[in-house]
Amino acid sequence: MSEAGVFTPMPGGAPITRQVVAQALMEAKLMLRNGEQLLLAVVIPVMVLIGGVTAGNAIDLDLGTDRALVDILTPGVLALAIMSTSFTSLAIATGFERRYGVIKRLGASPLPRTGLLAGKVLALGCVQLVQLFIIGGVGQILGWTPAAGFGTVLAFFLAIAMGTLAFASLGLFVAGVLRAEATLAAANLIYLLLLAGGAVVLPLTAYGAYGGVAHWLPSGALGEAVRIAFLDGVPAWRDLGVLLIWAVLGSTLTARTFKWE
Phi, psi of 13 (to 5 degrees): -85, 165
pLDDT of residue 99: 77
Type of residue numbered 147: A
Rounded to 10°, the helix 150-177/180-197 angle is 140
pLDDT of residue 106: 67
Type of residue numbered 121: V
The 3-state DSSP class for residue 30 equals helix
pLDDT by position in tens, the chain (length 261): 455 566 666 666 677 777 778 878 877 777 777 767 777 778 888 998 998 888 877 776 666 666 778 888 999 999 999 999 899 888 888 888 777 777 767 666 666 767 777 777 888 888 888 889 999 999 999 989 888 888 899 999 999 999 999 999 999 899 888 888 898 899 999 999 998 888 898 888 888 888 888 889 999 999 999 999 999 899 999 999 999 999 999 989 988 887 766
Please give the full DSSP string across 43-108, using - where no structure is assigned: IHHHHHHHHHHHHHHHHT---SSSS-HHHHHHHHHHHHHHHIIIIIIHHHHHHHHHHTTHHHHHHT
Cβ proximity of 95 and 183 under 8 Å: yes
